[in-house]
């Protein structure tokens, strides 16, 4: 009988070439694909938004975001994805869909999105200039502060965008969750958009 191996392959596995791309010199944009994460969509049952919030607080130690924000809970990031719904982004299975069922049993519906999305982290001095080619959202520091989130579109593709904590050098980090089957297409658009600034490309298992 044949031996079956079930290796996971990121949708960007072929397209992502670690290293430099585009203009030479200091890379203006850093693109990092974050791989192997758990992502669960949590949507409140009708009339149960308050209970869902309570359950989230109990589980993650922080209230689920009620406005477009990404908040840091214990071992998980809670990202607003629409009215009375949010994503739980985590690593290692602790907050995977199977583990969360009990906590939200009375208050919310859960849907596994771990394989449905690709997570791309964008940083660098030209990150905003590059994202301005893809996103109609105003990413000015005073408008889109650390922790701001948006359910929006990039290149006609639905994405969830949020600003993570700044890097040690003060530069902003933008996280983009894009549907997996669109990911390679958006990735090429990102490369095209950032080529003039020079890119550093990597992938990582670490959530930012």
Whichever of 62 and 152 has its CB closer to other proteins, that residue is 152
Are 139 and 199 in contact by the 8 Å Cβ rule? The answer is no
Whichever of 62 and 157 has its CB closer to other proteins, that residue is 157
Question: How near is the Cβ of 126 to other proteins at its closest, in Å?
Answer: 12
Query: Scanning the structure block, which residue is given the tokens 């670490």?
Result: 206
Whichever of 105 and 167 has its CB closer to other proteins, that residue is 105
For residue 127, give Cα distances in angstroms to 111, 124, 178, 191: 31, 5, 17, 12
Whichever of 20 and 74 has its CB closer to other proteins, that residue is 20
Question: How near is the Cβ of 119 to other proteins at its closest, in Å?
Answer: 12
Whichever of 71 and 150 has its CB closer to other proteins, that residue is 150
Whole-angstrom Cα distance, residue 204 to residue 93?
17
Whichever of 74 and 193 has its CB closer to other proteins, that residue is 193
Q: Write the DSSP symbol of residue 195.
A: G
Question: How near is the Cβ of 152 to other proteins at its closest, in Å?
Answer: 6
Question: How near is the Cβ of 154 to other proteins at its closest, in Å?
Answer: 9
Q: Residue 109's beta-bridge partner residues? A: 43
Question: How near is the Cβ of 89 to other proteins at its closest, in Å?
Answer: 15
Q: How many secondary structure helices (H) and strands (E) does the chain include?
A: 4, 12
Question: How near is the Cβ of 17 to other proteins at its closest, in Å?
Answer: 14
């Amino acid at each position: 009988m044949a031996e079956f191996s079930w290796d996971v392959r990121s949708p960007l596995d072929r397209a992502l070439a670690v290293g430099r791309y585009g203009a030479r010199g200091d890379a203006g944009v850093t693109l990092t694909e974050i791989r192997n994460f758990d992502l669960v969509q949590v949507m409140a049952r009708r009339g149960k938004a308050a209970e869902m919030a309570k359950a989230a607080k109990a589980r993650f130690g922080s209230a689920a975001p009620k406005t477009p924000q990404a908040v840091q809970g214990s071992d998980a990031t809670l990202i607003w994805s629409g009215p009375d719904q949010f994503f739980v982004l985590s690593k290692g299975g602790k907050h995977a869909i199977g583990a969360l069922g009990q906590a939200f049993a009375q208050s919310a519906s859960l849907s596994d999105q771990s394989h449905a999305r690709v997570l791309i982290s964008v940083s660098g001095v030209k990150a905003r200039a590059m994202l301005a080619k893809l996103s109609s959202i105003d990413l000015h520091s005073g408008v889109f502060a650390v922790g701001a989130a948006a359910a929006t579109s990039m290149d006609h593709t639905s994405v969830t965008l949020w600003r993570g904590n700044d890097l040690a050098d003060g530069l902003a980090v933008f996280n983009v969750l894009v549907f997996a089957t669109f990911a390679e297409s958006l990735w090429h658009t990102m490369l095209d958009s950032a080529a003039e600034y020079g890119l550093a490309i990597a992938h990582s298992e670490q959530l930012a």
